[in-house]
């Protein structure tokens, strides 16, 4: 079914408001996406009629909650084409997912082993690996990005040199939250596998914006957040290949993840429960499954075409502004654009744009090492989603022109 | 442009942003402190040459938005020649201005920052340089961050 983009906007109650007297132009989707009515309704319905704890009770509500929660796991497995729902671990978000993998790896790494990341990783796919490297004596290396504006993407020639037999794990982002670079994830996984390394994909920015098929990608682990794909906050997923999950120990222990406990010890359940100690975010999982339905109705190939076209159009229209520097690829970019002006700081841009009802992000985007490499301290980012329109890019351009005029004339 | 926005970006702020005073590393400094605003990556170094209890010279370096740059620049013009106690008192006044929007007339240019109070997210921008200056005065060894202060 071809999506009727003009009707999508009506699905999102929050977009029907004005901010500072102007229609809301929400361009901060890289940070979090808005929620369609169906997801909000699913949360309300769960709390109004099914709320109970999972996997513990034998009463009707507990069984309904358990069915909803486990049904969500199955739905999400299908969403990313996992072979088995047991490969879907519910987390709070991408950050927790990567931390679980990184901490689990700690027991498998020894001094001299190499953890490979890239220079474009979000702090959440960098700092956990720094911690593991410190704890184990493993060495953390980074695949360089090419070009003064990082327009060249990852240095794939360098990757050949970096993928030595010492590399045990290669962690990389599917799509950069700052550069809009879409990495060739399938190729990266193939090369890593050939070198004997496991792969961890940060799919936070890609999951809601393009088809993500873990078996086609050939990755070992993949982490994402629900809230960037129209789902609730506080729910995310760590996908891991079954055979690997069963080899990893838990990172948190307590109720719900044990087979049996005595005063001196306990035995763990297999994945996924092994990694889900305590009462999970049941409503969040159910809402996330409904978000999967919503995105599949729009069609993920179609969403990718829509979002990337807006990213490219914004890139072209913003390029005409005086004194602007846009980082990331010139073409083939994802649906966001990050830019800096020579004489106006990102904070001031965001404050002015807010006056025009436009929500932007200004700052380092949890990408400090990359920003430093590019000689920047901050950029302004506009990131697009299914409800954004070409007309909103014109509103953005007009607002930026006004800002430049104000500071230029000061 | 709305009234709030023109209140925020006063002429004196735009002027200090464009032509910052006392900008640059102070070679004669005997105190220095670094300030970070981790939310946005703004940072500044404040250099002091203390003579006894008095700020004989002051300079700053760093990067940030118009509000943080102008605030730090203006601060340097106000703190030069002040004792530590006077500097503390001036910061209290400044803090009151940016958090309440109330500005007593006698403290002149600092009153330009009264408009910040309508933009709570920007209060940290306005106080970054001040926090660094006070750290330098106190001789705090660790870099200051806006996250460790309640504003």
The neighbouring-strand residues paired with B49 are B57
Q: Is A371 on the interface with B (CB under 8 A)?
A: yes
| Residue B111 CA: distances (Å) to CA of A27, B7, B22, B132 | 34, 11, 20, 20
HSE-CB of A10 using CA atoms within 13 angstroms:
4
| 3-class SS of residue B65 | coil
The token duo for A56 is 């513990």
The token duo for A98 is 């990567």
Q: Is A378 on the interface with B (CB under 8 A)?
A: yes
The answer to whether the CB atoms of A355 and B125 lie below 8 A apart is no
The neighbouring-strand residues paired with B34 are B45
pLDDT digits (tens, 9 = 90+) for B28-74: 999 999 998 877 778 899 999 999 999 999 999 999 999 999 999 99
Q: What is the pLDDT of residue B42?
A: 84
Looking at beta carbons, which residues of chain A come within 8 Å of B64? Answer: 345, 347, 377
Looking at beta carbons, which residues of chain A come within 8 Å of B11? Answer: 410
| 3-class SS of residue B94 | helix
| 3-class SS of residue A224 | strand
Contacts with B52 (C-beta within 8 Å, 6 or more apart), sequence order:
none
The answer to whether the CB atoms of A355 and B18 lie below 8 A apart is no
Q: In whole angstroms, what separates CA A5 from the centre of its chain?
A: 23
Cα angle value A229/A76/A32 (rounded, 5°): 15
Q: What is the pLDDT of residue B4?
A: 86
Distance between CA atoms of residues A133 and A129, nearest Å: 6
* The model's pTM: 0.93
Looking at beta carbons, which residues of chain A come within 8 Å of B15? Answer: 410
| 3-class SS of residue B48 | strand
Min Cα distance B35 → chain A (Å) is: 14
Report ipTM (2 d.p.). Answer: 0.85
Residue range(s) of every CATH 3.40.640.10 domain in chain A = 41-296
Instruction: Chunk chain A into consecutive blocks of 10 residues (it has 410) and report each block's average pLDDT, rounded to whole numbers.
Output: 81 97 98 98 98 88 96 98 98 98 92 98 98 97 98 97 98 98 98 98 98 98 98 98 91 91 93 94 98 98 98 98 97 96 94 97 91 93 98 98 84
- Nearest to residue A395, comparing CAs of A384, A406, A386, A410? A384
Among residues A189, A230, A292, A366, the one annotated as catalytic is A366
Min Cα distance A377 → chain B (Å) is: 6
Looking at beta carbons, which residues of chain B come within 8 Å of A345? Answer: 63-66, 69
Distance between CA atoms of residues A387 and A15, nearest Å: 9
CATH topology of domain A41-296: 3.40.640
Q: Is A366 a catalytic residue?
A: yes
Residue by residue, DSSP assigns A176-203 as -TTT--B--HHHHHHHHHHTT-EEEEE-
Distance between CA atoms of residues B22 and A167, nearest Å: 50
Min Cα distance B82 → chain A (Å) is: 31
The answer to whether the CB atoms of A355 and B1 lie below 8 A apart is yes
Residue range(s) of every CATH 3.90.1150.10 domain in chain A = 5-31+299-408
Which of 3.30.70.20, 3.40.50.1820, 3.40.630.90, 3.90.1150.10 is the CATH number of A5-31+299-408? Answer: 3.90.1150.10
Considering only the C-alpha atoms of chain B, give the largest distance between any 2 of them, rounded to a whole number of Å. 47
Q: Is B123 on the interface with A (CB under 8 A)?
A: no
Contact criterion met (CB below 8 Å) for A87 and A240: yes
Domains and CATH numbers, chain B: 3-143 (3.90.1010.10)
Distance between CA atoms of residues A214 and B82, nearest Å: 64
């Amino acid at each position: 079914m071809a999506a009727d983009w003009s009707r999508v906007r009506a699905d999102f109650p929050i977009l029907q408001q004005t901010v500072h007297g102007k229609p809301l132009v929400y361009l901060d989707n890289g940070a979090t996406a808005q929620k369609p009515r169906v997801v909000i309704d699913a949360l309300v319905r769960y709390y109004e009629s099914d709320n109970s704890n999972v996997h513990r009770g034998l009463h009707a509500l507990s069984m309904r909650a358990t069915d909803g929660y486990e049904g969500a796991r199955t739905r999400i497995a299908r969403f990313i084409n996992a072979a088995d729902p047991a490969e879907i671990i519910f987390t709070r978000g991408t950050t927790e997912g990567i931390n679980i993998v990184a901490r689990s790896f700690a027991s498998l790494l020894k001094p001299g082993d190499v953890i490979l990341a890239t220079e474009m990783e979000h702090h959440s796919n960098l700092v956990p690996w720094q911690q593991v490297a410190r704890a184990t004596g493993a060495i953390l290396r980074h695949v360089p990005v090419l070009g003064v504006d990082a327009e060249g993407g990852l240095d794939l020639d360098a990757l050949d040199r970096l993928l030595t037999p010492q590399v045990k794990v290669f962690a990389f982002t599917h799509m950069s939250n700052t550069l809009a670079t879409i990495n060739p994830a399938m190729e990266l996984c193939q090369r890593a596998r050939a070198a004997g390394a496991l792969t961890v994909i940060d799919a936070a920015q890609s999951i809601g914006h393009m088809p993500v098929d873990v078996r086609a990608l050939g990755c070992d682990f993949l982490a994402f957040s629900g809230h960037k794909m129209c789902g609730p906050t506080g729910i995310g997923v760590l996908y891991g290949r079954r055979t690997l999950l069963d080899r990893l120990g838990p990172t948190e222990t307590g109720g719900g993840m044990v087979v049996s406990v005595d005063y001196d010890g306990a035995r763990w359940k297999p994945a996924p429960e092994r990694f889900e100690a305590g009462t999970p975010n049941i409503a969040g999982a159910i809402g996330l499954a409904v978000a999967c339905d919503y995105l599949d109705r729009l069609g993920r190939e179609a969403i990718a075409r829509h979002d990337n076209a807006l990213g490219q159009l914004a890139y072209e229209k913003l390029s005409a502004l005086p004194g602007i520097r846009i980082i990331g690829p010139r073409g083939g970019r994802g649906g966001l654009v990050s830019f800096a002006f020579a004489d106006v700081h990102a904070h001031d841009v965001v404050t002015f744009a807010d006056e025009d009802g436009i929500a932007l992000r200004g700052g380092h985007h949890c990408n400090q090492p990359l920003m430093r490499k590019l000689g920047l301290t901050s950029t302004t980012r506009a990131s697009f989603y299914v409800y954004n329109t070409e007309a909103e890019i014109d509103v953005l351009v007009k607002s930026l022109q006004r800002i430049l005029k104000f500071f230029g004339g000061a | 442009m709305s009234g709030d926005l023109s209140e925020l970006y006063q002429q004196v702020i735009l002027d200090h942003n464009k032509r910052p005073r006392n900008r640059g590393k102070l070679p004669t400094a005997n105190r220095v402190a670094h300030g970070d605003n981790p939310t946005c990556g703004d940072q500044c170094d404040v250099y002091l040459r203390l003579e006894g209890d008095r700020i004989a010279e002051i300079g700053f370096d760093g990067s940030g938005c118009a509000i943080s740059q102008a605030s730090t620049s203006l601060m340097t013009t106000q703190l030069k020649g002040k004792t530590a106690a006077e500097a503390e008192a001036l910061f209290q006044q400044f803090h009151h201005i940016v958090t309440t929007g109330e500005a007593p007339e006698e403290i002149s240019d600092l009153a330009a920052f009264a408009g910040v109070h309508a933009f709570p997210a920007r209060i940290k921008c306005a106080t970054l340089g001040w926090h660094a200056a006070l750290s330098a005065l106190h001789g705090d060894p660790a870099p200051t961050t806006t996250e460790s202060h309640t504003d």
